[in-house]
Structure 1
Amino acid sequence: AAPLFMLDLYHAVAGEEEEEEEGEAAVSRPVLTGLSTQSPPPGSVVSRADTVVSLVNMVEQDRDIFSPKPYWKEFRFDLAQVPTGESVTAAEFRIYKARGVTRHANTTLHVSIYEIAAEHSNRESDLFLLDVQDLRAGTEGWLVFDVTAASNHWLVDRKYNLGLRLYVETADGHSVDPGSAGLLGRRGPRSKQPFMVTFFRASPGPARVTRAAKPPRRRQPKKTNDLPHPNKLPGIFDDVHAADGRQVCRRHELYVSFQDLGWLDWVIAPQGYSAYYCEGECAFPLDSCMNATNHAILQSLVHLMKPEAVPKACCAPTKLSATSVLYYDSNNNVILKKHRNMVVKSCGCH
């Protein structure tokens, strides 16, 4: 279930990224619309995340109809592989509900999910309520619970990770065995097993100290700090001409195939992507289309005077964008990560 959901999420995010490339404000949508297997998380949650990690249920315990009431089902997840230096923006627990064996399909069920805060040998565990849903007993499909608070506690200290506990009750408070209500666990089909999805974002750096406000100055006429255009510089460079027919600095095609790199045993999607690269001459005079920095302009001037001492300016990326990659980690968790600076958008002389 987790890989299918994550693959759908990848396709939805990739579609949003393509629309952003075309200038559309895709991330302003309230939800992602490309998910076919399950209800999508809010689009704002996904757009803020740098990494999305799906965690498979590692340990499952039941107090079922063969045990005293109240009945419950417990789930545990291994957060050892979560990215370092990142904070949780959201976390969801997803569990599939089949029709179950309840005689009254129109009965309302009260499904609640708790964080196990502490365990005791001589009494019941301490529980912290995370989320609740009311639904018809005959409902079939994925249920999604907000477990962000638990995920944050577990990341602060791994010893707090005692798992989640799920209860099902009727409207009049009678305990119902989750399995009898149709909630599938590890014994269910592989495509319908419960899992957890956690959204991470890189933690911001240390906050800058706010300086005391200064009295406003009188506005001075605006001055430009730009160097004069190289073609307008007078003097000994008047007769120098650009690259003499050689190709000027620009972006070139480069497709990176993950199959050629031998990465498809752990990369799920994409099969590859257009990375592009920068190449070409940065010869004087540097035209405006070369996106040259002031430093590159001056370096080019000095190079003309001392070619053996100072090299030409280099053709390099001036703007890069991210691309999302879906892959397995060493524990077989499926991860969707937005890798920054993967695609060259424009080139210039540096």
Structure 2
Amino acid sequence: MLLSFAAFVCAAAARPPVHEPEDHFSAVNDPEQVRSAAIKRLLEVFGMDDPPAAHAHKQQPPQYMLDLYNTVADANGVTKVPNLLEGNTVRSFFDKLHSEQVEYRFNLSTVARTEKVLTAELHLFKLRPQAKLKQHHFCQVSVYQLFDTSRSNNTQEKKLLSSRLVPVHTTGWEVFTITHAVRSWMSDDGSNLGLRVTVRTLGGSQMDMKAIRFASGRSHHQSKQPMLVVFTDDGRRSTTLENTGMISATSGLPHAPLAGSPSRSARSVDYSEEEGVSLPCQRLPLYVDFEEIGWSGWIVSPRGYNAYHCKGSCPFPLGQNMKPTNHATVQSIINALKLIKGIETPCCVPEKLFSINLLFFDDEENVVLKQYNDMVAGSCGCH
């Protein structure tokens, strides 16, 4: 498995950083050094310097994050519908104050300043009223950003972020958009004094907080804890062909190797490698097992995924089943006719690449959903 893992890393990062020699891996003889270098390179593919600490996680991932992961990814983590997720990163944060009062504060230190905040939501779980409120059917719930008037010229103690009517007698999650506050906290972390929630009657008077209650981190089950969800984009972009339509296990990611329909040219090279002749260009399995790599302590889903790889020959003449580019077709002709010395046959490479999604715990035990482009070879062709 280590061999296939190392092969995956080499394929995923074929061009080494400029500070490393081209023969970095070949120059290392110690298997442990090879493994360490390979895992370091894989971390770079996943945009990390070091793997998050593998805590003995006392908290389960929020159901919202699990549901979101299952919406955007299939059982193997492969993206089901591209562009369904806003940005490429979703982070969840639990309230750090654990206060019985309606004030909340979230530690955003794990969000890189280079990430662009697209949307931020405050998720509060509304409990059933402890008292009967026959005269009230709706209440006005407002979320404010808190300010420190002593550290700036701002004379405001609080600023309204979101306000709407909420049914009094219902129970369940209520979501409020607070994007402006999170963006301001990211530009100045010292301004993060948290949020305050108020509940008033339609007439504007303060309501009894025993009647209208939201779950707190101190007194209620973790599945109902106040939570901040932040959608960001870390600036990574796809460098190759990502399918823009719907991807399914049967259409976008065929299970059978893409050997194409049988033809005279394909049959002429369809011998086993034991006989010394390469198979025609096709897609073959390449499973990346996160447990074997040592990452199972912080990755929630998937446990591993099939990256696939492309292998085989691109013999002359190239049929359409080989999905050749015009350039590859011309190159194969030049090679076959021996018109120019040293011209090789076209290469068998991924023709489509799909993204995968990773659900994991970060160093602060926040749960993160991150989407990575160009991680699965969806089909192969001669280029």
Both structures adopt the same fold (TM-score exceeding 0.5): yes
Distance 1:84 1:289, change over 3 A: farther
Contact 2:77 2:356 in 1 (8 A): no
Alignment of 1:1-350 (within 5 A): 3-14=62-73, 46-61=84-99, 73-83=102-112, 85-104=114-133, 107=136, 108-120=138-150, 126-176=157-207, 178=209, 181-187=212-218, 188-203=220-235, 243=269, 245=271, 246-300=278-332, 303=335, 305=338, 309-350=342-383
| Separation in 2, partners of 1:168, 1:89 | 27
Letter aligned with residue 49 of structure 1: G
| Separation in 2, partners of 1:157, 1:83 | 13
Structure with greater strand share of residues: 1
Distance 1:244 1:110, change over 3 A: closer
Stretch moving more, 135-144 or 339-348: 135-144
| Separation in 1, partners of 2:156, 2:98 | 16
Contact 2:127 2:213 in 1 (8 A): yes
Q: CA deviation at 1:309?
A: 4.3
Q: CA deviation at 1:20?
A: 8.3
Aligned residues: 286
Distance 1:167 1:244, change over 3 A: closer
Contact 2:99 2:216 in 1 (8 A): no
Residues 113-170 of structure 1, C-alpha deviation per residue, up to 9 Å, x if partnerless? 011244449x985222111132343321111111122122222332332221111223
Larger RCO (CA under 8 A, 6+ residues apart):
2
Residues 194-240 of structure 1, C-alpha deviation per residue, up to 9 Å, x if partnerless? 001111235599xxxxxxxxxxxxxxxxxxxxxxxxxxxxxxxxxxx
Contact 1:105 1:136 in 2 (8 A): no
| Separation in 2, partners of 1:327, 1:20 | 16
Distance 1:276 1:179, change over 3 A: farther
| Separation in 2, partners of 1:94, 1:165 | 13
Letter aligned with residue 111 of structure 1: V
Residues 245-270 of structure 1, C-alpha deviation per residue, up to 9 Å, x if partnerless? 44111111333333333322111112
Q: CA deviation at 1:94?
A: 0.5
Larger radius of gyration: 1
Distance 1:319 1:281, change over 3 A: same
Letter aligned with residue 95 of structure 1: L
Q: Which structure 1 residue ranges, 5 or more long, are not aligned? A: 28-43, 65-72, 206-240
| Separation in 2, partners of 1:349, 1:81 | 42
After TM superposition, the score normalised by the length of structure 2 is: 0.64
Q: Which structure 2 residue ranges, 5 or more long, are not aligned? A: 1-59, 238-266, 272-277
